[in-house]
Amino acid sequence: MSHSEFRTRLAARWHSADSMLCVGIDPELNRIPEHLRAQDDAFLQFGKAIVDATAEHVCAFKPQAAHFAAEGHEDQLAELIDYIHVNYPEIVVILDAKRGDVGSTAKLYAREAFERYQADAVTVNPYLGYDSLEPYFEYSDRGIVVLCRTSNPGSDWLQKSQLANTPLYLTVAEQVSEWDTGGQCMLVTGATYPEELAHVRAVVGDMPLLVPGVGAQGGRVKEVVAAGVDSQGYGLAVSSSRGIIYAGEGEDFAEQAGVQAALVKQDINAARS
C-alpha cells in the first residue's frame, strides 16, 4: 500500500527527531499564565510559546478545536496552525475535532479541517459508517485519525460491546483497515488500555496509532510502547497535553513545558530499547 503525504511525513519525523511524542495544545483561559491572559490573542501567544519550546522533541502537534472555539478564538487556532507550518514544516498538525456526520455536513467538516485550518490530519468519529469518513478520503494528502479504543473509562459500554463475538473497537479497527486503501488512516487507541492497544496493533499491522492518555490520565509509557510499536519499532504518536503544557504556571511556563516534553520523549525512547 502506498502511503499518503501525511503518513510519509509522520514517519520521516519519527526518524529525524527520534521521537514518537505528540504534544496536545488545549489552552484554558484560567490556566494560561497571568502575564498573557489579558492579551487579545492570549490563546495564540500561549500556543506559539508551547510550540517553540517543545518542537525539537515532537513528531506531531495536536491542537484541540473546542478549546479555541468555545472562547470564539477559531482565528487564533488557524493562525497557530499556520505558525507551525511556516516555522516547523516537518512536524504534522493533527486537529483534534472528533467530527462525525454524513452528507453535505461531513463535506463541510472536511473542508473546515483541511481548507480553513489547513490541518494535516483530523480526528473523526466512525459511528455513522463509511459515509461519515468518505469526504475526508477525498483529500488524499491528508490524514484521517479514527476513534477506535478511547482512553476514557466511560467508553466501555459501547467500545467493548460484542459484535459477532468481537468487541466493537476491534471491528472498527478491522473495518478502517479495509477502507484505508490510500494509506491515510490512523487510529486513536488509549494508553489506559495497553492490552487492547496490543489487540488493535495485531489487527492493523503497521497503521500508525495516536495514543492519548499518558500523564494526567494515568497511562504508562512503558506499557504503551511494549504493546503498540509497529514492525519497525515506531508507529505511535504518544499524546500528552496537560502534563506538558501546564508543567509551569509562571513566566517560564514554556521553558518548563520544553523540559517536560524532553523527559516524556526520553521515557518513550527508553521503553523502546
Using CA atoms, how far apart are residues 148 and 223, in angstroms rounded to an integer?
18
List the grid coordinates of 118: 489547513
Is 48 an annotated catalytic residue?
no
* Segment 12-18 long-range contacts (CB within 8 Å, at least 24 positions apart): 12/90, 13/59, 13/60, 13/90, 13/91, 13/92, 14/59, 14/234, 15/234, 16/90, 17/56, 17/57, 17/58, 17/59, 18/269
Cβ density class 154-165: b for 16+ within 10 Å, e for less: ebeeebeeeeee
Which is catalytic among the residues 62, 98, 107, 160? 98
Residue with the three cell numbers 485550518? 117
Question: Environment class of residue 267 by beta-carbon count within 10 Å: exposed (0-12), middle (13-18) or buried (19+)?
Answer: middle
Task: Give strand pairing partners of 62.
Answer: 24
Centroid of chain to Cα 175: 20
How many beta carbons lie within 10 A of that of residue 16, not counting itself? 11
57 and 21 Cβ atoms separated by less than 8 Å: yes
> 118: phi > 0 → left, psi -120 to 50 → alpha, else beta; which?
left
* Residue 187 main-chain phi, psi, to 5 deg: -115, 140
Beta-carbon contacts of 18 under 8 Å, excluding residues fewer than 6 positions away, are: 269
- Residues serving a catalytic function are 98
